[in-house]
Amino acid sequence: MNKRLAFEAGPVSSRRRLETITADGCAPMIFGVKPSNMVAFDRRAPGYDDRWFDCLCCAFARAGIASYVLCSCPARRLVLFYRPAMLRDHLNDPETKAILMKEGYRMGGTVSEMIAHLAGRIAGERKFPHEIGLFLGYPARDVAGFIQNNGNGGVGCGYWRVYHDPEGAKRRFALYDKCRDMISDMLTEGRSLSNILTTGGKYNENVCDLLVGNG
C-alpha cells in the first residue's frame, strides 16, 4: 500500500486529516520545486470551518506562500497556493506569455491580478480554462498541446498530459512523488503542517539533490 494512503487511513483527528490532505497536495510547492499547487477543500468535511481555513492561509503566508480562492460555494472551496516570485518567473517565460496573451491576459500586471483574471474565467466557463496548467507550473509546450488537441492524444500522462519531452516529464513526476513521500514521513513523525512550513526549508538540500537531471 502507498505509504501516503496508509497514513491518511490511520486514526487521526479531523483537523489532522485536513492538514494531511493539504500537505500532500502542496508538497512540491512547499519544497520549492514547483511554483504552485491547487487544493479543493470540502467545506462540509469534519473539522473544516472558515476560521481553520484562515489560520491555514496565515501559516502558509508566514512561510512566504500566498493563497487565492479561485472559486467557492457552500460545498467546496478551490484554492491556489503559490510562491509569488517563482510563479511570476514562470508566467513571464516567453512561451507561457504567448499562450496567456492569446487567452486574453494582460501581461505586465501583478501575479495576483493575473490569478484574479483566471478566477474570473473559471467563474464564467463551464469547464476549467485550459491555461490553468500554466498557473500550476506545467510546461508551456504541454499546455499548448493540450489546448490544440482539446485534451486528447499526447505521449504520456501523470500530473499533467504530456505532449513533449516525456522522459523529462517522468523525472519531474518522480520528483513530485518524492516530495510527497518526504511530507508523509514528516507527518508520520508527528510534525504539524505549520511546523513543516516553518522548517521545510531545511530539507531543501535533499530536494535540490533530486533536481539534478530533472530540468
Q: For the segment 59-79, what is each residue's pLDDT rounded down to a tens digit?
A: 999 999 999 999 999 999 999
* Whether the predicted pLDDT of 202 surpasses 60: no
Number of domains into which the chain is organized: 1
- Do the domain assignments include residue 215? no
Rounded mean pLDDT, 14-43: 95
Residues β-bridged to residue 69: 79
Q: What is the mean pLDDT of residues 12-32?
A: 91
Q: Which residues contact 45 (CB under 8 A, 6 or more apart)?
A: 14, 17, 18
**Measured between alpha carbons, how far is 82 from 38 in angstroms, rounded to an integer?**
9
| Range of the structural domain that residue 41 is part of | 3-189
Over residues 74-93, the mean pLDDT reads 96
Residue with cell 507527518: 187
200 lies in some domain: no
* Residue 206 placed within a domain: no
Across 78-82, 171-175, 187-191, least confident range: 187-191
In a domain, 36, yes or no: yes
Are 73 and 22 contacting, i.e. CB atoms less than 8 angstroms apart? no
Diameter over CA atoms, the chain: 49
Q: Inform me whether the pLDDT recorded for 211 exceeds 50.
A: no
| Averaged pLDDT, 101-125 | 92
Q: Global pTM?
A: 0.87
CA distance 14 to 16: 5
pLDDT category at 144 given cuts 50, 70, 90 is very high
| Alpha helices, DSSP H, located in 1-139 | 3-8, 14-30, 50-62, 84-91, 94-102, 111-124, 132-135
pLDDT band at 207 (very low <50, low <70, confident <90, very high): low
The closest of 10, 48, 7, 12 to 24, measured between CA atoms, is 7
- Position 200 confidence tier, pLDDT thresholds 50, 70, 90: low
Mean pLDDT lowest among 16-20, 99-103, 126-130? 126-130
In a domain, 32, yes or no: yes
In a domain, 208, yes or no: no
pLDDT bin (cut points 50, 70, 90) of residue 107 is: confident
Average pLDDT, the chain: 87
* Alpha carbons 86 and 32: distance in angstroms, whole number: 9
For cell 468535511, the residue is 45
17-35 as b/e: b if 16+ CB within 10 A:
bbbbbbbbbbbbbbbbbbb
Question: What is the mean pLDDT of the segment spanning 184-202?
Answer: 85
Residue 121 is assigned to a structural domain of this protein: yes
Number of separate helices (H) and strands (E) present in the chain? 11, 5
Q: What's the whole-number mean pLDDT along residues 35-41? A: 97
